């Protein structure tokens, strides 16, 4: 079995969204969308990785694959819960109405329909894709209610009045929309309410709702959100909201945060760890395969906390503890890469193998143009909002992913990179201390 340290990476070929993230029977399970045949997107399956500690991940192979009329052309994103000792996975099944004649793993245009599916497992490792699947929500026919193709990504959670489910979709006016359902048994679902708001793209993917520190948080990835000329218009955002569970009425504010100001992370999914902390992971989008062999990885597990309406994303304590062995140079680090801590004065910068981090106008900024190639349409420069106090950074460096946590997760900048060098230059006299995983 393929193993990864800290960051889950495609074991070969392609992965994208994390799915079914759950702490179940003493282990962390994370599933992921994958195309197991080439390092590009195609007819989607679910891969599966398991960890005891969120540090070492072991890939388990394919968990879900197309077998039913509802999911014959793909098992899209979804979530997982435990009930009566069993694992329940919910996901979106896709059926093409018009296949690409040159590649049946793709459809033409938006000519497909989506339905919501469920599969169960007694141990979280074995999934009977033939006998244990069922459709719980049929494809939508009325565009006033939901888009027939772009309605997907069921997130299920246990509330005070039963089980809740939220779907992302697009409304007839061109605005994103959420649909809320409720169930007593996880098998039969009834529509309760919807919410929409202009200005947040035309379709809301991967919705996630949870409460942390007494505040209610909504996270989702709106399609067509940033219209600034770059190829990735869809971004992962979050905000504190008002939510009444009885009526599934949600009040969405005008303000929002990016879940990560590197703008590479997408389709975040959260769960609760063994200590009851809310944790999240997300897909780090890559424009091309590494060495032509694999494409796609996830950020490290992050603890989500809310303070006075602001949402923090901090490295999980297990991850922080794992980087404990001091090293002299980056070349001494293993697969998990290395960590360093630094504070910058105004105008100062650190160059990590060609990746620049610098402080300008009260913001922490990054520039990956030297380690990302000359790719048209891809963002190269990033920054936090203006900081009110403190400029401390904990930087985690993987050969293909750099995560910059500013002021203990007040803001984070995460960027995928290629051909990262081994040198570190700060312009300071003092030496930067480096740490790697034992």
Kindly report the CA angle at 309 between 303 and 310, in degrees rounded to 5? Answer: 50
Averaged pLDDT for residues 388-396: 95
- Position 392 pLDDT exceeds 90: yes
Closest C-alpha among 379, 385, 383 to residue 417: 379
DSSP state of 233: -
Residue with tokens 């045949």: 37
- Position 89 pLDDT exceeds 70: yes
Please, what's the b/e burial string for 248-265 (b: 16 or more CB within 10 A of its CB; e: otherwise)? bebebeeebbbbbbbbbb
The answer to whether 19 and 79 have CB atoms below 8 angstroms apart is yes
Q: Mean of the per-residue pLDDT values for the chain? A: 96
| Residue 415: Cβ within 10 Å count | 25
The answer to whether 178 and 206 have CB atoms below 8 angstroms apart is no
Q: Give me the pLDDT at residue 227, please.
A: 85
DSSP state of 318: H
**What Rg value do the Cα atoms of the chain yield, rounded?**
21
Q: Give me the pLDDT at residue 180, please.
A: 98
CA distances from 310 to 69, 226, 271, 305, 418 (A): 44, 21, 19, 8, 32
- Position 373 pLDDT exceeds 80: no
- Position 377 pLDDT exceeds 90: no
The answer to whether 65 and 129 have CB atoms below 8 angstroms apart is yes
Q: Give me the pLDDT at residue 281, please.
A: 98
Tens digits of residue pLDDT in 10-52? 999 999 999 999 999 999 999 999 999 999 999 999 999 999 9
Q: Give me the pLDDT at residue 87, please.
A: 98
Give the predicted TM-score (pTM) of the model: 0.96
Tokens coding 307: 């303070």
Least confident of 220-229, 348-357, 409-418: 220-229
- Position 134 pLDDT exceeds 70: yes
Q: Give me the pLDDT at residue 107, please.
A: 96
Q: Give me the pLDDT at residue 374, please.
A: 63
The residue count of the chain comes to 438
Q: Give me the pLDDT at residue 420, please.
A: 95
Model confidence band, residue 94 (pLDDT cutoffs 50, 70, 90): very high
Domains of the chain: 3-315 (2.115.10.20), 325-437 (2.60.120.560)
Q: Which residues pair with 134 in a beta bridge?
A: 118
Please give the torsion angle defined by the CA atoms of residues 326, 330, 335 and 336, in that order, rounded to the nearest 10 degrees.
50
Tens digits of residue pLDDT in 284-298? 999 999 999 999 999
Taking phi over 0 as left and psi of -120 to 50 as alpha, with beta for the rest, 6 belongs to: left
Q: Which residues pair with 211 in a beta bridge?
A: 216
- What is d(CA 28, CA 25) in angstroms, rounded to the nearest whole number? 8
Q: Give me the pLDDT at residue 259, please.
A: 98
- Position 375 pLDDT exceeds 80: no
Tens digits of residue pLDDT in 150-204? 999 999 999 998 999 999 999 888 999 999 999 999 999 999 999 999 999 999 9
Tens digits of residue pLDDT in 325-359? 999 999 999 889 999 999 999 999 999 999 999 99
């Amino acid at each position: 079995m393929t193993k990864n340290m800290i960051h889950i990476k495609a074991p070969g070929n392609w992965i994208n969204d994390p799915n079914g993230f759950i702490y179940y029977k003493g282990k962390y399970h994370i599933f992921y969308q994958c195309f197991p045949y080439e390092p590009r997107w195609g007819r989607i399956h679910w891969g599966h990785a398991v960890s005891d500690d969120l540090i070492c991940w072991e890939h388990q192979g394919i968990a879900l694959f197309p077998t039913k009329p509802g999911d014959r052309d793909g098992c899209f994103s979804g979530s997982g819960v435990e009930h009566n000792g069993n694992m329940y996975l919910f996901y979106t099944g896709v059926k093409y109405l018009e296949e690409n004649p040159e590649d049946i793993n793709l459809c033409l245009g938006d000519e497909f329909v989506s339905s919501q599916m469920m599969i169960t497992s007694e141990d979280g490792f074995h999934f009977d894709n033939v006998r244990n699947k069922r459709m719980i929500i049929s494809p939508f026919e009325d565009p006033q209610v939901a888009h027939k193709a772009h309605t997907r990504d069921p997130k299920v959670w246990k509330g005070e009045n039963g089980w809740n489910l939220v779907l992302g979709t697009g409304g007839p006016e061109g605005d994103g929309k959420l649909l809320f359902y409720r169930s007593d048994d996880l098998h039969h679902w009834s529509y309760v309410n919807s919410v929409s708001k202009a200005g947040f793209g035309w379709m809301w993917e991967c919705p996630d709702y949870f409460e942390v520190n007494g505040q209610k948080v909504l996270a989702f990835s709106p399609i067509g959100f940033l219209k600034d000329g770059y190829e990735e218009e869809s971004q992962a955002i979050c905000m504190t909201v008002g939510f009444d569970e009885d009526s599934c009425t949600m009040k969405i504010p005008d303000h929002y945060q990016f879940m990560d100001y590197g703008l590479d992370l997408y389709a975040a999914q959260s769960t609760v760890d063994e200590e009851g902390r809310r944790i999240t992971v997300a897909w780090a989008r890559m424009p091309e395969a590494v060495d032509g062999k694999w494409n796609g990885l996830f950020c490290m597990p992050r603890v989500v906390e809310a303070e006075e309406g602001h949402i923090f994303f901090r490295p999980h304590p297990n991850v922080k503890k794992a980087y404990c062995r001091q090293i002299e140079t980056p070349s001494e680090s293993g697969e998990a890469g290395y960590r360093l801590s630094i504070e910058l004065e105004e105008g100062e910068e650190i160059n990590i193998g060609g990746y620049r981090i610098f402080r300008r106008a009260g913001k922490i900024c990054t520039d990956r143009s030297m380690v990302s190639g000359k790719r048209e349409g891809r963002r190269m420069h990033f920054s936090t909002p203006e900081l009110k106090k403190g400029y401390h950074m904990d930087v985690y460096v993987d050969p293909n992913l750099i995560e910059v946590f500013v002021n203990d997760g007040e803001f984070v900048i995460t960027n995928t990179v290629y051909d990262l060098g081994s040198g570190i230059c700060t312009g300071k006299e003092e030496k930067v201390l480096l740490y790697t995983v034992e």
